[in-house]
Structure formats: C-alpha cells, structure tokens
Structure 1
Amino acid sequence: MKPDVAARLLQALAPWRNAPAWHIAFSGGLDSTVLLHLLASLANTQTLPPLRAVHVHHGLQAAADAWPAHCQAVCDSLGVPLRLMRVQVRPGASLERAARDARYQAFMQAMGAGEVLFTGQHRDDQAETLLFRLLRGAGVRGLAAMPEHRPLAQGHLVRPLLAFSRSELEAYAQQHQLHWIEDPSNVDPRFSRNYLRHRVLPSLTERWPQAITQLARTAEHMAEALGLLDELAQMDLQRAGQPSAFPWLPLPSLALEPLRQLSDARQRNVLRYWLTPLTRLPDSDHWTGWNALRDAKGDAQPLWRLADGQMQRSGERIWWLPTTWSTFSDASVSWPDPQQPLELMGNGQLRFIGRAPEGPLVVRYRQGGEIFDVPGRGRRDLKRLLNESGLPGFVRGRLPLVYRGEQLLAVPSVAGAWTRSVDDGQLDWLPQSCDQGLS
C-alpha cells in the first residue's frame, strides 16, 4: 500500500529542506492548490523553510481578473504570504510559449540565491509533454520531458508532484474540500496540449489503461539516457574547452580541432550541451549551419545564426556571440578626464593603469587606414598589427582607440604585445559582459 500523499511529498522534498526559502507558483488551479495546501499543512508539523506563494497575472483573458482575489483568499486561509506579479505577454507565433516566458521571468525576479520554486506539474502532465514533443520530432533531450529539478536564476526549479497522478490530486482536493480555479482556456482544443489532454490521451487510456504511467516511465528512461549523453559531452568539452588566447574577452568559446576529431553525432551532442544555457537549440535541418562553419577555409569568417545569437569562427576557434553583443554605439566619445574610467555605451569600460595622459581625449572606432607608433618598429598599419595579434574579427570593430586631436595615442593592451605605454600609463579595456540566462 502506498504511503499517503503528504508522506510521499515530504520524502520528495528532502533535498531542498535547507533552502533559504520556498516559493510556490500558485495559479489557483487544481495542481498548485493541492501543492500549496500540502506544503502549508506540512509546515505545521515539520521544520521547513519559509513558504511564499507567487501568482502571475498575464492579463490575457477577462476571467483572469478575478483570480488574484481568489488566490489571496486561499493564501490568507493557510497563512501563506502571496506575491502578485503582473506581466505583459509579447505577441508571437506561440501565445502559450510567450506566456510561459513572461511567467518564468517573473518567477526569476521573485527568487533569491539558493531559493526553491515549486511548480505543480504531475504525472499526467509529464505524459502529455512527452507525447507532444514526440509528435514534434524531438530528440533525447526533448523526450526527457520535464526534469524533476533544474537551475532557475540563482536557485532551483523543483517539480515535486511528477510521481503523482491527476486522479490522486483530485482525490486529495475532494478529501480536504479544496476549491480551485478552472481556466476556460484549458478546454480549448485549438491549443495542441489541450487537444492531446482531452481528445488523444483519453482514447489511449481507454485502450491501454496504463498508458499515462508508461509514457511517464519512458520520459524517465529518456532522462537517464540524456544524463549519459551529458556525461559524454562534459568529457568532450574538457578537450575543446581549452582557454583562448584572449582570456579578457567575456564570450564562451571552444577550440575547433578537438571537435573535428569527433563523429558528427558526437559533435552535435557536445554542441547541444554547450549551447543549452545560451540559446534555444536548432532543429535537425538547421544543423547544416554548423557543418558550414566547421568546414570553412581558415581565412574565412563564417557565422551560424541561432535563435538568441550567433556562432562565429576565428581561425581554429568558435565563439558564441549573444544578441546583446551587437548592441553598442560606435560613435566618437569625448574623454575629458582620463584620470577617471570611461563607460562606453554597450562596450564596457576604458581606463588607464598607472599614469594617465593629460586630457581631453577622444575615443573613436576603426575606420580603416589607422597608423600606430610601435616602439622599436616605427609606424605600423593597425590592421596588420591586429592580424599579427590574432584578435577575432568580430572584436576589432569594437576596439576603442584613444586619440589626442588626430593622433592615435593609445590602443588597449588587450590587442597585443605590440601596444606601447603612454606617459607611463597603460590603456586597459574591460569589454561589455555578455552574461545571458535562457532556458
């Protein structure tokens, strides 16, 4: 005989009981209502982290305007603080996806370091997700469906109800006389997931009563296979992840030659693993872009455009450039006091280490034909010097050049060993950070 729902949930929560705080994504529907009631009840008998509920109001349908008041009443009755967050859903090809993106952005804002967000997806949701992705031709990563836990912002997203069926949650709700919201959009068959939930899965379970359990089990097998593929990818990344010659450049990069030594399937595996935190992954047909990037001639500068940025190649190295990298202004900027660091719009910070030259100075960007005075070598073409340094081409247009009048006075020391000091000071450039968090 199975332990009761509360005992099983408490066991699933064991790894997270030392977190600074617990948040629950509380929509007011059946799943999150049962989860909230369970957590609040356990808190009466167990020592648990502080519990807070978060309700995200999307503003997509009139009926939803009444839901915050319902959620507040439920939380008040259970003694759980509620945070209401209103979001704007950007229109796009998939309203479901846009709403989900907006919702998770709100959740990330609500979370602190090490904190946990619980969501109410259950076994039926897992089976539905697997079937939905199977019909879209997903690979192992997609068919692993929803993981029990994953990183989110500075904390963790945890789905503690994946081992529970919807019928178990309904029975618990009825036993405790819980009231929940029925979202009208959840029965609209125009949405693919609703069609699967109300038309396809009932037919499957009529013929195969254990279909939902078996589908969820398949997702577990796929998650295990994904874990093995990720371990292989980590081994391959150790070889390809050797540091670049430009450690100051805040962009992810890999050495190309170790990747070339792998089979095509293994190359795709390691790149999927590497790209997952950086961008939405390409579909099968789009991987031809990787082949073109990999096989281009050494003097070419090919790129592979992806959903949230692009991969560029420079010599025998590939670099990831997020969309934010291209957002900077190349207009000239005056530097009235070189004693103080200068913030460059979308391009980091410029400063002098040691003694700074007298101002005012001007920061400009490459136009072509610049000549630079190199100690012991005389006047040299800046383009040739950059070629000698091996600086990737996509960085060169962002390289800040410091002028006094029409004289090119200084180039950042990161550009190469040929850079000279100016009045006993060294020009230093800290490029724009490109940290990027994407699920």
Structure 2
Amino acid sequence: MTLCARVLENLAPWRDAPAWRVGFSGGLDSTVLLHVLASLAQREAIPALSAIYIDHGLQAVAQDWPAHCQQFCARLAVPLHVQRVHVDDGPSLERAAREARYRAFDQQLAEGEALLLAQHRDDQAETLMFRLLRGAGVRGLAAMAVSRPLGAGVLLRPLLNVAQAELREYALAHRLSWIEDPSNADQQYSRNYLRHSVLPALHARWPQALGNIARAAEHLGEASQLLDELAIEDLQRAESFETAAWSAVPSLSLPVLRSLSEPRQRNALRYWLRERTTMPDTAHWASWITLRDAAPDASPVWRLAGGEIHRADERLWWLSGDWLRKPQALSQPIISGQWLALPGNGRVRVEGMLPDGAFYIGYRQGGEVLELPERGRRDLKRLLNEHRVPVFIRTRLPLLMCQGRVCAVANVENLDGCSSKLWRLVWQLPTSELGLS
C-alpha cells in the first residue's frame, strides 16, 4: 500500500470534518504529511486543507523558516497561518515550548476541525522509551494516541504506523526540500540522546526493535483504556451522594474506595484527579494511605500540586482555588429573591419573602446559637455536627442574621428557613475554581 493510500485509510473516520489543519514546522515529517495530503486533495474529496506554523522565537536561525514554509505552501496551493507564541521560562525548555505550541493549536481549531500532526512510528518508540526511563505508569507508557480531543476539535496522528525511513524515501522521491533544525542534533537534550545514540544501537542489534516498541505502546494503550473503564465503573459507585447540599464540591465515598483492592483504589483516584492536578509521584502516594487509615475523628489533608483532598464525614473532598482561602469577614444586607455575591464564596439568596427586619449575611465567629421550634436555643456547632456538615464548609457557611441573632443556616435541612417554609436561605457554592476544566 502506498503512503498516500495508508494516510487516507488512517484518516477515514474523519473524512467529514469541516477542515484538516496540518501542524507544519517545515521539517521532514510535516513536509511529507502536507505534500501527501495536498496530493490527495487533487483526486479525493477531503476536508478543506490548511497549515499552521508555530513560531517559538527561540532560535536566531529560525527567522527564515516561516518564509520557507510560506513558499512551500504556496507551491501546493495550501493556505498557511503563522502563529507567534511566547515560551515560558522553566526547568524544561522542551516542555514549555510544547505547551505553548499546543495552546496555540487549541486556540486555532474551530468546532469539529482536525489538527493533523506528523509524529510517526519512530517517534512513538522514542516516546515510550523516554517515559519508561522516567518511570511512567501504564497510561504514560501508552505514549501517543492516534486521536484525542483538542479544544473544539480533535488531534490526529495519521503517521503512527509509518517509519521515518519511509517518509525520507518519499521526500527524496518527490524531490522535496525541508528544514533541518540544528537543535535536533544537540544531545544535551534527553530525547535527542535517545534518538541519535540509544535507538540506533537498538536497531543495529535488533532491526525490528522500533516496530516492536511501537507495537508495545499500542498494547499498553489498550491496557490503559481498560484501566480507565474500570476506574469509571468504580467511581460511579463512589461518587453517589445522598444529599445535593454540597454536591458542587467533588467528593468520593471512602467506604466504597476501601472496599477495593489497593491497586484499584489508586487507579480510581488517578482517574478522578487526572483533570484536577498533576499526578503525585510514587513515593507521595503514601499520603493516600495515611489519609485513608487516619482515626475516624481525625481531619487529615492530602496536599497535591493543584489542590487538596480533605476527609470528612467518611468522604474525600477535592478543594482548590477559593476553597483553600478563608473567606473575608462579611456583614452584607440581603433582599428577598435577589442573589447576593459573596467574595470568593459563590452567592446566596432568600427564596420566598422575609419578614420585616434588617437582615444580613455573615459567617460563623464561634459561640452562635439558633432558636428551633420545640427545641429552643441550640448551640450552632452542635447542630452542624448533628447534620454532618463537613468541617471545611463550616467556616464559609452563609448565615442569615438579624440584630446579631442567627436566623437560618444556608443549605442545611431544617436550619435553612422558617418553620412555616415561607422562606429559605439557598447558597450556590463556588465552582469556577474547583479545577474541573
């Protein structure tokens, strides 16, 4: 099968996309991919084709590269968009450049469009080896997926079953010119050392090594998918919660997690935390055991890069952003039926009509009491214990006050309004900073 036919076959599920946008660096791999797609466009009905060049601004030698890419795209009659990006300083220039590049790609994709990248089989093998040396788990060793969501569209890698040698043969046969990035030869970068010193030695001893390593990445990808499916099944049980009062805060049932084996516990937690924080390293997972096995009356906290896991009322609660900052002292008048914004703490309103009086919203200071029908004056702290209000919520729980007296406690059943149910205090918890993106 020709390279053109293989690429077309690999892209068959996305033939109805609004557009194919090629991430074009001017290097060998993306040059071949763009030429193949432009050739297909002349005889096949494929989506509108264009290219995106990302200018990182990191090398003086790269100042002529956009012009080269413009000329190449003009010969193919393919529109090219040049996007300049800022690369943040940090310990890894490679990682910072990659993150800046993908942010730019994300911003460029419209709804349903596909971004096509030219990573090939040898890149797949290199990525697996690199991650293996860093001690990655199954998901990391699965390396690069053929497709994944990106922004409003999808990222595709139609060359993952193609060796770079085949791409070079195609480029030479079609007399293509491409850019040789001098930084790719600098073996102070770990990936370049793998590419130029380690993988050639493996190939010399075992000619099928790169293909076998890439195939192993596919197997690990299947294993990772199965682990994700198992995590989803376990989390469906662990996320069930009998009350909606605090449902805006992501939480898991600790008894459900305890019923799983330790590997399944970690698998479920990794999946749950994946979009919320950087994963802890192997040694840091000991903190999970400490939190899980703490005494029943303890309030342990597991601090992670993107937030914290608190344990309360036999549940794990994920807190980040505003939830990690104590709300400002408050004494704010409230009007029936109108939402009142609480700085760093969501918003609150009274549903129904309050009686006459100078009502306002405040927070606990300690020592508050609440008058209850048939029970008289009761200590608020004890009432919150009875209603199993998580400790981390209590300092930010809105209270309806009048003349220094607590009249209602937001979202706590039977404490949130008057006995006749003519009005109640409703709190919409902060969610924008929970790390749920």
Aligned residue number for residue 280 of structure 2: 282
Give the partner amino acid of 1:91.
D
1:390 aligns with 2:388: yes
SS in 2 for 1:415: coil
CA gap of 1:428–1:5, structure 2 versus 1, over 3 A, is same
Aligned partner of 1:415 among 395, 412, 416: 412
Distance apart, 1:320 and its partner CA:
2.1
Query: 1:224-303 maps to which residues of 2 (within 5 A)?
Result: 224-246=222-244, 248-303=246-301
Give the alignment's Cα RMSD to 1 decimal.
Answer: 2.8
Query: 1:61-100 maps to which residues of 2 (within 5 A)?
Result: 61-100=59-98
Give the partner amino acid of 1:124.
D
Partners in 1 of 2:47 and 2:203 — Cα distance?
39
Aligned partner of 2:353 among 352, 355, 365: 355
SS in 2 for 1:372: strand
Aligned residue number for residue 60 of structure 1: 58
CA gap of 1:298–1:204, structure 2 versus 1, over 3 A, is same
Greater shift, 313-322 or 82-91, is seen at 82-91
Aligned residue number for residue 109 of structure 1: 107
Distance apart, 1:237 and its partner CA:
2.5
Partners in 2 of 1:380 and 1:403 — Cα distance?
15
Distance apart, 1:18 and its partner CA:
2.6
Alpha carbons 1:338, 1:358 under 8 Å: kept: no
Deviations 1:363-399 (A, max 9, x none): 4333322333334433333322222222222222332
Partners in 2 of 1:158 and 1:365 — Cα distance?
51
Aligned partner of 2:169 among 165, 168, 171: 171
Aligned residue number for residue 119 of structure 1: 117
Distance apart, 1:10 and its partner CA:
0.8
Deviations 1:81-102 (A, max 9, x none): 4344333333223222222222
% same residue = 54
Distance apart, 1:213 and its partner CA:
0.9
Alpha carbons 2:337, 2:352 under 8 Å: kept: no
Alpha carbons 1:421, 1:427 under 8 Å: kept: no
Q: Give the gaps of 5 or more residues in structure 1.
A: none
Q: Provide the TM-score with structure 2 as the length reference.
A: 0.89
1:10 aligns with 2:8: yes
Deviations 1:125-160 (A, max 9, x none): 111111111111222222211121223334322211
Deviations 1:312-331 (A, max 9, x none): 21121112224464367524
Aligned residue number for residue 324 of structure 2: 326
Deviations 1:169-197 (A, max 9, x none): 22222233333332222221111111101
Deviations 1:217-272 (A, max 9, x none): 11112112222323332332233232353365323222111221222122222222
Alpha carbons 1:127, 1:216 under 8 Å: kept: yes
Alpha carbons 2:122, 2:164 under 8 Å: kept: yes
Distance apart, 1:333 and its partner CA:
6.4
Alpha carbons 2:300, 2:311 under 8 Å: kept: yes
1:341 aligns with 2:339: yes
1:212 aligns with 2:230: no
Aligned partner of 1:46 among 44, 50, 57: 44
Distance apart, 1:421 and its partner CA:
4.1
Aligned length: 435
Aligned residue number for residue 32 of structure 2: 34
Alpha carbons 2:119, 2:157 under 8 Å: kept: yes
Partners in 1 of 2:75 and 2:185 — Cα distance?
29
Alpha carbons 1:122, 1:164 under 8 Å: kept: yes
Give the partner amino acid of 2:417.
R
* Structure number with bigger Rg: 2
Partners in 1 of 2:82 and 2:61 — Cα distance?
16
CA gap of 1:30–1:360, structure 2 versus 1, over 3 A, is farther
Partners in 2 of 1:281 and 1:359 — Cα distance?
51
Deviations 1:259-293 (A, max 9, x none): 21222122222222222232222221111011111
Q: Give the gaps of 5 or more residues in structure 2.
A: none
Alpha carbons 2:400, 2:409 under 8 Å: kept: yes
Partners in 2 of 1:182 and 1:333 — Cα distance?
65
SS in 1 for 2:187: coil
Q: Provide the TM-score with structure 1 as the length reference.
A: 0.89
CA gap of 1:410–1:287, structure 2 versus 1, over 3 A, is same
Partners in 2 of 1:75 and 1:5 — Cα distance?
20
Aligned residue number for residue 380 of structure 1: 378
CA gap of 1:334–1:138, structure 2 versus 1, over 3 A, is same
Give the partner amino acid of 1:23.
R
Aligned residue number for residue 137 of structure 1: 135
Distance apart, 1:407 and its partner CA:
4.0
CA gap of 1:42–1:354, structure 2 versus 1, over 3 A, is farther
Query: 1:183-194 maps to which residues of 2 (within 5 A)?
Result: 183-194=181-192
SS in 2 for 1:206: helix
